[in-house]
């Protein structure tokens, strides 16, 4: 029986010289390099969307992407025994380092370039387009309503648990900051911003593992599985948050981060206001509260209490970090 790695590459019209299975992938030596293949659960429509994004970037001189191989029919996936496989040329890389200030500046420039080149692009329809990010005000308002419900649950019991105490103690600051985020949204035409030309594609998974650095120092962006229509600022806000949480010796001032990014992909004042709203909204705290109060437990999870405490500590510092940047805006 033919080895699966050879069979997969044959579907892409490539002849493998040798193949080795490593975990869930097949690493195959071919005449002009090494190809990695793997099974994917992505719907075919999402693969086609990610493929179109990568090809657009590559055609516009952004070569640092893991392009899919295509079959002789031009399809970026192969179906074998009812399973879907994708393949890309393998390049030796390492994870990006968000803790290194100089490297993070390079990351910002690379991501800004990617966003800029995706500013005006015609792409196939995304199969799972969600309106959640277009309805931010409703989303924020729902979370505030949930927060008030969680406080009522916490104080309605005879004895407050450690998690309850933390929530009640920090309730007012969470509420005030969440309301401030809504006020920022109301000051700008955020719906217009999110449906603008700059809202074409959001990677949605930019982290150290998906921003790669090769031996020459070139940045490569991989992992487009979650790419979808969306504004670049959601990617930017995730990068900012992850850089700050690394707690490196030198966390770059937010003004320096934004200056570096906007030199390549400018953001107007309304977009910066929207970015501020997204940055200050304590989404992770809401997520932890939802997990705690909607899951029935016979006893309180000490790990969950520790997670909330750590998140509250980080959030307080992070909020000051963001406010320092935006407090002087005109």
Report pLDDT digits (tens) over 53-110.
Answer: 999 999 999 999 999 999 999 999 999 999 999 999 999 999 999 999 999 999 999 9
| Percent of the chain surpassing pLDDT 70 | 93
* 312: pLDDT strictly greater than 50: yes
The whole-number pLDDT of residue 297 equals 72
Of the candidates 221, 191, 212, the residue with the CA atom closest to the CA atom of residue 112: 221
The whole-number pLDDT of residue 134 equals 56
- Residue-by-residue DSSP string for 61-108: T---B-PPP--TTS-S-EEETTEEEEEEE---EEE--TT-HHHHHHHH
* 324: pLDDT strictly greater than 80: yes
Reported confidence tier of residue 330, pLDDT bands at 50, 70, 90: very low
Q: Whole-model pTM?
A: 0.90
For the chain, give every residue range classified as CATH 3.90.1200.10.
Answer: 101-326
Contact call for residues 5 and 16 (beta carbons, < 8 A): yes
Q: How far is CA 319 from CA 270, 273, 312, in A?
A: 20, 15, 10
Reported confidence tier of residue 298, pLDDT bands at 50, 70, 90: low
CATH number for the domain formed by residue range(s) 4-90: 3.30.200.20
Mapped onto helix, strand or coil, the DSSP state of residue 181 is helix
For the chain, give every residue range classified as CATH 3.30.200.20.
Answer: 4-90
If residue 33 lies in a helix (H) or strand (E), which one and from where to where?
A: strand 33-40
Q: What are phi and psi of 255, to 5 degrees?
A: -60, -40
The whole-number pLDDT of residue 24 equals 82
Reported confidence tier of residue 197, pLDDT bands at 50, 70, 90: low
The whole-number pLDDT of residue 41 equals 94
* Residues whose CB is less than 8 angstroms from the CB of residue 285 and which lie 6 or more positions away in sequence, other chains included: 174, 308, 311, 312, 315
Other beta carbons within 10 Å of 329: 9
pLDDT in tens, 205-247: 999 999 999 999 999 999 999 998 888 999 999 999 999 998 7
| Percent of the chain surpassing pLDDT 90 | 76
The whole-number pLDDT of residue 201 equals 87
**Cα gap 161→80, rounded to integer Å:** 53
Reported confidence tier of residue 1, pLDDT bands at 50, 70, 90: very low
* 124: pLDDT strictly greater than 90: no
Which stretches of the chain are DSSP H helices? Answer: 4-11, 44-59, 101-117, 136-155, 162-186, 190-194, 232-245, 254-264, 269-280, 283-294, 302-326
**Cα gap 179→254, rounded to integer Å:** 22
* 288: pLDDT strictly greater than 60: yes
The whole-number pLDDT of residue 329 equals 55
pLDDT in tens, 158-171: 789 999 999 999 99
**Cα gap 2→164, rounded to integer Å:** 59
CATH number for the domain formed by residue range(s) 101-326: 3.90.1200.10
């Amino acid at each position: 029986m033919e080895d699966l790695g050879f069979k997969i590459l044959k579907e892409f019209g490539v002849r493998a010289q040798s193949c080795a299975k490593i975990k869930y992938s097949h690493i195959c030596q071919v005449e002009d390099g090494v190809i990695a293949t793997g099974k994917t659960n992505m719907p075919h429509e999402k693969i086609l969307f990610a493929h179109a994004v990568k090809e657009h970037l590559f055609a516009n001189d952004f070569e640092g992407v893991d392009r899919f191989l295509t079959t002789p029919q031009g399809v970026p996936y192969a179906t074998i025994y009812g399973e879907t496989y994708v393949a890309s040329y393998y390049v030796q890389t390492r994870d990006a380092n968000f803790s290194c200030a100089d490297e993070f500046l390079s990351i910002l420039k690379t991501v800004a370039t990617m966003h800029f080149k995706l500013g005006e692009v015609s792409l196939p329809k995304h199969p799972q387009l969600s309106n959640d990010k277009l309805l931010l005000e409703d989303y924020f308002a729902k979370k505030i309503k949930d927060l008030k419900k969680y406080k009522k649950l916490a104080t309605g019991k005879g004895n407050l648990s450690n998690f309850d105490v933390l929530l009640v103690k920090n309730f007012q600051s969470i509420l005030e900051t969440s309301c401030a985020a809504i006020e920022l949204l109301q000051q700008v035409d955020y719906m217009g911003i999110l449906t603008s030309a700059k809202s074409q594609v959001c990677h949605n998974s930019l982290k150290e593992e998906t921003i790669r650095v090769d031996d020459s120092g070139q940045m490569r962006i991989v992992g487009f599985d979650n790419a979808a229509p969306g504004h670049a600022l959601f990617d930017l806000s995730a990068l900012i948050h992850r850089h700050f949480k690394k707690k490196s010796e030198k966390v770059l001032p937010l003004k320096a981060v934004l200056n570096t990014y906007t030199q390549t992909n400018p953001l107007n004042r309304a977009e910066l206001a929207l970015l501020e709203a997204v940055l200050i909204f304590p989404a992770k705290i809401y997520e932890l509260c939802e997990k705690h109060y909607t899951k029935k437990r016979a006893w309180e999870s000490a790990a969950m209490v520790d997670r909330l405490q750590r998140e509250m500590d980080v959030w307080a510092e992070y909020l000051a970090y963001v406010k320092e940047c935006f407090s002087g805006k005109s």
